[in-house]
Amino acid sequence: MRVGVVGAGILGLAVARQVGLVVEGAEVCVFEKEGRVGAHQTGRNSGVVHAGLYYVPGSLKARLCRRGAGLLRAYCRERGLAYAEVGKVVVARDGRELDGLAAIEERARANGVPGLRRLDAAALRDVEPHAAGVAALHSPATAIVDFGAVARAFAEDVETAGGTIRLGQEVTGLRRDGTRVRVLTPGGEHTFDRVVVCAGLQSDRVARMAGDAAEPAIIPFRGEYYRLTPARTDLVRGLIYPVPDPRYPFLGVHFTRRVDGGVDVGPNAVLALAREGYRRRDVRPADVLETLRWPGFGRLAARHWRTGIREVYGSAVKRAFAARARAFVPSLKAADLVPAPAGVRAQAVDADGSLVDDFRVGHLGPIVTVRNAPSPAATSSLAIAEHLTTLLLDGERTH
Ligand SMILES: Cc1cc2nc3c(=O)[nH]c(=O)nc-3n(C[C@H](O)[C@H](O)[C@H](O)COP(=O)(O)OP(=O)(O)OC[C@H]3O[C@@H](n4cnc5c(N)ncnc54)[C@H](O)[C@@H]3O)c2cc1C
């Protein structure tokens, strides 16, 4: 069986690896438009292995995150990759956030998150001495990794198993040809029995090339980070998160210890004016037009313009960003923050303006398309790979 994969982010590589593991004699080829693997979301995120606190019980996110976190932990141990269970606190700053915290605790318990503890203000200070809040939820199993390094290890596994990774090869067309699929690139044409599309920020465009539905479209949201200066990294031991606003799939600006010892503060969520627009000045008129033309965008903007303006203000004014973070760590000063590289989230939006919450996958005969894979998709990558491989084979014999 010949299997083609579009995209060498963590998902495309995890699927290519999984197909190599379960399909005897499979020939796997991954196409990546950039010159290296993990160049977009996979290499530009918070690096948190989520334990499964927030997700609707029974959803794909809840199931695949729980399974994926366990698989990833075992994989990192086996491959000698950094994996540190630094633990996380979700902090309620005042009494108004207690109901939100209780709702998360209920979901986390339903999802089987291990080791959960409810903390009062004093117990919070024992875990995170510089954090302030009236109560918190502590998840000691939440961990940190370098997802870029994990993706590179997956790429090695693919090649060791005899698969090919074609870097600098943009897929420009996908054609169904009977039971087979032709993949078009500027360098030539390749035929496969099965194709999986894991194209991240371009996933709607590539899925449409394959004849998949227009809905949902990707709306890019940049997530900007600051980093604590080295002298101030002792302000944070592990991970400090706010109680998220249930209207949004984004978790809010948080403090994240990184495996390199640094501490990041972010990400915010600002509409990006280019799909791969990592800087404020990056504008791609074709991308902006596509966003504006998507009927769901107008509806989304009409509902959430106040939040949008607040995010843009926090992005433009460092003091505002610092004030938001200081609500959790009162001794933080704006001077403690230096800018760090941003990421852009591929957030799927339906035509009715709703932000797609769960992972979403399309299936068109021999083609499987990942249409929404935001956080915690990196955490869940090995479990998503199992799920996609089952869909892809759909009746084929595996061993
Ligand atoms: C700011 C931010 C913070 C996050 N934090 C976390 C976190 O802490 N924990 C977590 O679990 N998740 C987190 N995520 C989410 C996580 O990073 C993503 O869910 C995950 O990386 C998605 O992987 P992917 O392979 O689908 O996408 P990507 O990594 O974006 O890969 C897609 C690849 O497809 C390639 N491609 C696109 N079009 C084509 C084409 N036509 N031809 C060939 N190649 C193509 C791209 O170049 C790219 O390399 C975060 C994301 C962001 C942006």
161 and 256 both lie in a single domain: no
My answer on whether 294 and 206 are in the same domain is no
Q: How far is the CA of 346 from the centre of ligand 1 (A)?
A: 7
| Atom nearest to 169 CA in ligand 1 | 43
| Residue 10 Cα to ligand 1 middle (Å) | 7
Q: Are residues 187 and 154 in the same domain?
A: yes
**By three-state DSSP, how is residue 98 classified?**
helix
The first and second tokens of residue 364, run together, are: 């068109």
Which amino acid, one-letter code, is at 228?
A: L
What pLDDT sits at residue 399?
A: 31
Residue 40: inside a domain: yes
- Count structural domains, the chain: 3
C-alpha dihedral (304, 220, 387, 243), degrees to nearest 10:
-40
Of ligand 1's listed atoms, the one at least distance from the Cα of 39 is 49
Q: Which atom of ligand 1 is nearest to the CA of 31?
A: 43
Per-residue pLDDT in tens (0 to 9) along the chain, 399 residues: 999 999 999 999 999 999 999 999 999 999 999 999 999 999 999 999 999 999 999 999 999 999 999 999 999 999 999 999 999 999 999 999 999 999 999 999 999 999 999 999 999 999 999 999 999 999 999 999 999 999 999 999 999 999 999 999 999 999 998 899 999 999 999 999 999 999 999 999 999 999 999 999 999 999 999 999 999 999 999 999 999 988 887 888 899 999 999 999 999 999 999 999 999 999 999 999 999 999 999 999 988 888 888 888 788 888 999 999 999 999 999 999 999 999 999 999 999 999 999 999 999 999 999 999 999 999 999 999 999 999 998 854 333
Looking at residue 398, its pLDDT comes to: 35
Residues 225 and 336 in one domain: yes
- Cα angle 66, 72, 74 (rounded to 5 degrees) comes to 110
Q: Under DSSP, is residue 312 helix (H, G, I), strand (E, B) or coil?
A: helix
Structural domain harbouring 225: 219-236+245-354
Please check whether residue 67 lies inside any domain of the structure: no
Residues 227 and 281 in one domain: yes
